[in-house]
Structures are given as structure tokens and as C-alpha cells.
Amino acid sequence: MIRFQNVTKKYDKHKALDSVNLEIRQGEFISLVGLSGAGKTTLFKVLLGEERAEGGQVLVDDVDIAKLKKSDLPYLRRKIGTVFQDIKLLPKATAFENIAFAMEVCGHTRDKIREEVPKILDLVGLAHKQNSFPDEMSGGEKQRVAIARALSHRPVLLLADEPTGNLDEVNAGEVIDLLLKINELGTTVLLATHAVDLVNKIKRRVVTIEEGKITFQQEQGKYKL
Amino acid sequence: MAFLRIIKNGFTNFGRNIWLSLAATMVMTVTLVIFATLFLLFTLTNYSIHTIQNTVDVSVYFKVGLAEEQILTIKDSVQADPRVEAVDYVSADQAFNNFKALHQNDPLITASLNELNSNPLSATLHIKARSLDDYPAISQGLENGQYKDFIDKVNFEDNRAVIDRLDKILKFIIAFGSGLVAVFAVIAILVIFNTITLTIYNRKEEIEIMRLVGATNWYIRGPFLTESFLYSLFSTIITGALFIPVFAKVLPKITAYVNPQINVYNHNIFNFWYLLLMMFVAALILSIISTFLAIRKYLKI
């Protein structure tokens, strides 16, 4: 489904990605592990078309992202859901409105939004919180709303960049369980994380990235640096 | 659906920074008021020049009783002059009838005319030159030329000094006005640029989320363009409202003074709707320029 072929990305002289080769198959759950600054976020940015690689190719369903026009990038981003450590919810909008906003932006009708949002909130276990504002929710709940928002246009791939970074153990565990559930329902998940215990608990494919290079890959692996 | 949401977001942008939006609208209004005032002054001066130019002609009065054939020969000869644009012949009878018609409501003149046994008026030629500068030469040519014995008198009022003066005023209005409009246009562009930049800054989070969830570039940019459209629309409406009394009261008086025979409402020299449209287009161009500059510099897509 997604292939990185010899992808290199530089910031000035620093190589954030150095000849990265990686294949992400449909339906996989991959934990991308590495220290801060190892290149995890850059890899995500290249995949979303936010940054352009200087060398190599990133193919999504055999389409080279570098060859996409700027006006086509939004449609690529609708295929890829994103979740971040800093959550990025609208503070003055309820859980329902945050998800509705994402759907509105992509042109869904009001009826469709009214029908879909409660279902998505139910999927992430927050049906009862649809009228709550972000500051009335716990960190884990906020991240689940962010996941719900990412799922609102049924992406084929979910990118989660340190989604548990700001959460306590219990909340982090809940978020990971949710990601696993989403993966079981058919969405491919790429999770970038530091959290050793969580990766070891997931027991799925682990890819280690160090100084921009993929140094280790293992199916049903454990956290390894 | 997306289009309506873009428009709605544009109104939201306008409303969220209401004081800034009002400031931008006011600066644009001042620019438009200056623009409209100068445009009206230009039109008025230009119109005055044309009116005065149109009143200039050489009138040739022939001696009473001169045969019409002779006058028509003179007319053909004048017409052949390349400096002459048109020659109007008014026969003695026609002049008499015109005079009667003009004073038909004056019983004293009508009674006096009825007393007359013969027509005291002479035939005339009214000559229009192609250029104002040719009038003195045409006039002198007739007074001293081969037909001078048939001519009673040649009348020519030299209005060139007035026209020259008006022309200078017109050139001043164009030069001074263009400078003033340019200065205010730059101020308006800067104010709107800053307002849009602040709106972009205020909506930073929303824009980032829009980008992440796959909003199209136009969905993100559209509200800012709508916002600048609203500045143009509101400033045009305010300026238009300010100019309604000018159009209703002041302009008819000035026009009547310049040319008493003209009714301002029947002659399309000052068309309110045309001015409004022109102001709106000018405002739109200015605000779109500043919005595009702000978007290019600060809105990452």
C-alpha cells in the first residue's frame, strides 16, 4: 500500500531521513520507535506531503507523492488520518463540533454529519461526552476525540505521532487499545512512540529508526534501540 | 455546500475582529470618498470645458436683402475650408420665425412684430471650427476676405482663455488626484493586509486542523477573500450613502450653473450607479491585492 524507496530528506546539512526503505502493507499495525529527532515525525510529514524528500520516492497505492500537485494534497490527506501528541482540538468547540468541523471542511452534508458523528464518538467510547468541551475532558478522552476526528472521513491509514506522550499510563493504555480496535476494523495504523511498555504490549511489527535510518525491523517484535 | 461554508466563515472572520474590520472598512471608505470626489470634480471640469467649447462659434450676419443664392455660395466656400467642421445656415425668414417663437409669450414683442411690414433680421451662418485655435483666423478671413461686402458683421466670442484655465484645472485634478488616491490606496492596502494577517493568526489552530483533515486550498483561503469582499462592499455602501445628498442637491445646482439648459437628471454626466460600481471595483481590486499578499506571506497550505 505504501512504500518508501531510498527516501532522503535534509534540513540544511542534517539528514533527517537517510535512504529509508519501508513498506507498509494494508491492514498492518506498525510501531515506529526511536529517540526524539530520530526522524519519525519527518517520515510522517513526507508521507502527508508537508515536506518534500530530496531523494527517493514515496508511493501511496503506486502514486508518487512528489508528483502530486499542491491542489491534490488535500485528497491525499483525506486518505490518511493524523493524531498528534499535542492533540490539536478546537478549545471552544464540543467533542461533537470538533468532529463535525473536520467533516464540514471535507464537504459532508449537515445530515450526514448529524448521522455519522455520534457513531464515531460511540466507536471511541465517548458517546456520552459529545457535548463536552476539551477542558471538561481528561487527556485520554481528548486524544480519543482527536482519533475520532481523524477517523471521520474513513482513512485507509492512521498516523499517530506520539499520541500517548502527554498521557498517564491508564489513559495511554486506553488510547493504544483504541488504536488496536481501529486496526482490527480494517484501518492500517502507523504509531510513532517512545513508550517501551506499550510497544511490547502491542506485539505487532516494530520498525526502529535512528538518525534518519531504519536500523531494525521485526514482525511481532519488541521495542529495540 | 462548501461554497456556502466559505461565505459563512468569511462573515465569521469579519465579525470576530469587528473593530479591526471596521477600521479596515473606514480606511477603505476614506479612499473611496477621495476617489469619488476627484472623479466628480474631473467629470464636472471636463463637462464645463465641453459645454464652453460647444458654445463657441463664429456667427456671420449678412446684409439685409442679400440673395439666398449668394449666401449659399459663401456657405459652400466656407464649408470647403478644411479648418471648418460644420456650417449652419439660418435664413432671414427662419431667424424671424425663431425669434417669434422664442417670444410668443411676450405680448409686447408679439404686437411690435405684427406692426412690421418687412423682416428686419438678416440671414446668418453659424460656423463651427475643428479646433478652438482656428476661430480667430476664420473670423478674420471672413471680415477681410472676398465676401466682406456682403457681410454686415462677424461675431466671435473668444473663450479660449477660460477654456485654457479649465484645462489647467483639469490637469491639476488629474495629477494631484492620482497622487492622493495612490497614497490612500497604499494605506488601505497596508491596513487590510494587517487585518487579514491578524485574522490568519487568530485562526491559526483552525487552519492547521483544516489542513490536517484535508480541506482544499480554496476552502482555507476562501473565507479571507470573502472577508476582503465584505470590506469592499461595506465601504462602497457607506461611500454611496455619503454621496446621495451630493447627487440629490449639490450636483444639479453646479450643473445648472455651468449650463442652465441642461437638466442633470436627463443628461447622464453624473450616473450614481456607475460611480458606485466603479468604487466597488476599485475597492475590490485593492482589498484582493492586500489579501493575496497576506495569504501568500502568512497562510501556509
Burial category of B210 from C-beta neighbours within 10 Å (exposed 0-12, middle 13-18, buried 19 and up): buried
pLDDT attached to residue B33: 92
Select the more confidently predicted residue: B168 or A225: B168
Nearest to B215 among A74, A76, A149 (CB): A74
Give the number of other CB atoms < 10 A from CB of residue A154. Answer: 12
Task: Report the alpha-carbon angle B271-B229-B285, nearest 5.
Answer: 65
Distance CA B204, CA A158 (A): 23
B91 forms beta bridges with: none
Contacts of B211 in chain A (CB under 8 A): 77
Assigned domain for A225 exists: no
pLDDT attached to residue B292: 92
Q: Which residues neighbour B17 within 8 Å (Cβ) at sequence distance 6 or greater?
A: B195, B198, B199, B202
Going by pLDDT thresholds of 50, 70 and 90, the confidence category of residue B158 is low
pLDDT attached to residue A25: 94
A90 has a chain B CB within 8 A of its CB: yes
A107 has a chain B CB within 8 A of its CB: yes
Q: Mutate one of A47, A69, A98, A105 to test the B interface: name it (highest B CB count within 10 A).
A: A105
pLDDT attached to residue A205: 93
Cβ distance A106 to B213 less than 8 Å, yes or no, reads: yes
Going by pLDDT thresholds of 50, 70 and 90, the confidence category of residue B38 is confident
Contacts of B210 in chain A (CB under 8 A): 105
Going by pLDDT thresholds of 50, 70 and 90, the confidence category of residue B159 is low
Closest C-alpha to B124, from B54, B51, B66, B53: B66
Query: Element (H or E) spanning B221, and its range?
Result: helix B217-245
CA–CA min distance B215, chain A (Å): 5
Contacts of A88 in chain B (CB under 8 A): 205, 208-209, 212
Q: E strands, chain A, where? A: 2-11, 14-24, 29-33, 55-60, 63-64, 80-84, 157-161, 188-193, 205-210, 213-218
**CATH class as words, domain B57-157:** alpha beta
Average pLDDT over residues A87-109: 90
Task: Tell me the DSSP string of B5-45.
Answer: HHHHHHHHHHHHTHHHHHHHHHHHHHHHHHHHHHHHHHHHH
pLDDT attached to residue B52: 76
A130 has a chain B CB within 8 A of its CB: no
Going by pLDDT thresholds of 50, 70 and 90, the confidence category of residue B206 is confident
pLDDT tens readout for residues A160-216: 999 998 888 888 999 999 999 999 999 999 999 988 888 888 889 999 999 999 998
Select the more confidently predicted residue: A111 or B107: A111
pLDDT attached to residue A29: 95
Cβ distance A102 to B216 less than 8 Å, yes or no, reads: no
Is the model's pLDDT at B265 over the cut of 60? Answer: no
Q: What is the CATH number of the domain that holds A18?
A: 3.40.50.300
Any idea where the domains of chain B sit in the sequence?
Answer: 2-52+162-298, 57-157
Going by pLDDT thresholds of 50, 70 and 90, the confidence category of residue B293 is very high
Three-state DSSP state, B297: helix
Q: Where in the sequence is the domain holding A28, given as residue range(s)?
A: 2-218
Q: Write the DSSP symbol of residue A128.
A: G
Assigned domain for A185 exists: yes
| Whole-number Cα distances in Å, A158 to A65, A79, A84, A186 | 17, 9, 11, 11
pLDDT attached to residue A225: 66
Cβ distance B213 to A88 less than 8 Å, yes or no, reads: no
Cβ distance B213 to A102 less than 8 Å, yes or no, reads: yes
Cβ distance B210 to A152 less than 8 Å, yes or no, reads: no
Is the model's pLDDT at B268 over the cut of 60? Answer: no
Distance CA A169, CA A183 (A): 21
Is the model's pLDDT at B258 over the cut of 90? Answer: no
Report the complex ipTM: 0.81
Going by pLDDT thresholds of 50, 70 and 90, the confidence category of residue B262 is low
pLDDT attached to residue B260: 62
pLDDT attached to residue A151: 92
Cβ distance A71 to B209 less than 8 Å, yes or no, reads: no
Is the model's pLDDT at B300 over the cut of 80? Answer: no
Structural domain total, chain A: 1
- Which of A87-101, A164-178, B254-268 shows the lowest per-residue confidence on average (mean pLDDT)? B254-268
Assigned domain for A130 exists: yes
Contacts of A76 in chain B (CB under 8 A): 214
B125 forms beta bridges with: B60, B89
